[in-house]
Amino acid sequence: MTTAFLTNWIYVAVFIVAGAAMVVGILLMSRLVYPIHPSPEKYSTYECGIEPVGDSWHPFAVRYHIFALLFLVFDVEAIFLFPWAITFRRLGTSGFVEVLVFIAVLAVGLAYAWLKGALEWV
């Protein structure tokens, strides 16, 4: 079991290396054959043919951060749920009730965020 487990991970590692090597290889091969003809227009930012106003790395939409926070909360929830799910049959009713309470607490959190308007976009 342990050996098989390790062997499997070695294959994953090999796959990572081979995949990365392939990407690098393709980019290098392409680099060898493609033409290079620089021009000022080509090197300008694409903004529909008009010179941009201001910086693109711009303070932007706090909304996204709220969704990042929500993601964090509920992804962590999922992390807690996975071990429960896999041992579900052993834990039985008591485990189920505990998880229901856990879900309920988070559901209250979601309801709060919802009512507070954190889920509204504009």
Partner 1 sequence: MGVAREAVEVVGELAARFPGLELTVQPTADEIPTLWIAAERAREVIAHLKTEAAMTYPMLYDLTAIDERERSHREGQPASDFTVVYHLLSLEHNRDVRLKVALLGETPTLPTITGVFPAAAWYEREVWDLFGVGFDGLPVRPRLLMPPWWEGHPLRKESTGRGTERGRLTMSSERAAEWQEMLAFRPEDWGLEELAADPEVMFLNVGPQHGGTHGVVHIAVGLRSEEIVSCVVQIGYHHRAAEKMGERQTWHTFIPYTDRVDYLGGVVNNLAYLMSAERLAGLEVPERAQVIRVMLSELYRINSHLLFYGTFAQDIGALSPVFYMFSDRERIHDITTAITGARMHPGWFRLGGVADDLPDGWQELIRDLIDYLTPRLDEYDALVLGSRITRARTKGIGALDTATAIEWGVTGPNLRAGGLEWDFRKKRPYSGYERFEFEVPIADGGDSYDRVWVRSQEIRQSLRIIAQCLEQMPDGPIKSHQPLAAPPIKEPGTMHHIETLIDHFLGVSWGPVIPPGEACLGIEATKGNNGYYLVSDGTESAYRSRIRSPSFPHLQVLPLMAEHLMVPDLITILGSIDFVMADVDR
Partner 2 sequence: MSEAACHALGLAGFGALATAAWATVLYDLVIVLVVLVGVLSIAAGLTWFERRLLSFFQDRLGPNRVGPAGLLQPLADMVKMFFKEDWIPPFADPALFVLAPAIIIVSVLLAFVVVPVTGSFVIADLNIGLLFFLAMSSLGVYSVALAGWSSASKYSVIGGLRAAAQMMSYEVFMGLALTGVVLLSGSFDLNRIVAGQRGLWYVVPQLPGFLVFLLAGFAEMRRIPFDLVEAESELVAGYRTEYSGMKSGMFLVGEYLGMTLISALIVTIYFGGWLGPGLPGFVWFLIKIFIFIAFFILVRATLPRPRYDQLMDLGWKILLPLCLVNLAVTGAIILAVQR
Residue length, the chain? 122
Check: CB of residue 106 under 8 Å from CB of residue 74.
Answer: yes
48: contact with partner 1 by CB under 8 A? yes
* Alpha carbon distance 73, 53 (integer Å): 37
42: contact with partner 1 by CB under 8 A? no
* Alpha carbon distance 100, 86 (integer Å): 16
Site string for partner 2, 4-23 (x = CB under 8 A): xx-xxx-xx-xxx-xxx-xx
Those residues whose C-beta lies under 8 Å from the C-beta of residue 88, and which sit 6 or more positions away, are: 95, 96
For partner 2, the binding residues (CB under 8 A) are 4-5, 7-9, 11-12, 14-16, 18-20, 22-24, 26-27, 29-31, 33-38, 42-43, 45-48, 52, 56-58, 60-61, 63-64, 67-68, 70-71, 74-75, 77-78, 81-82, 85-86, 88-89, 92-93, 96, 99-100, 103, 106-107, 110, 114, 119-122
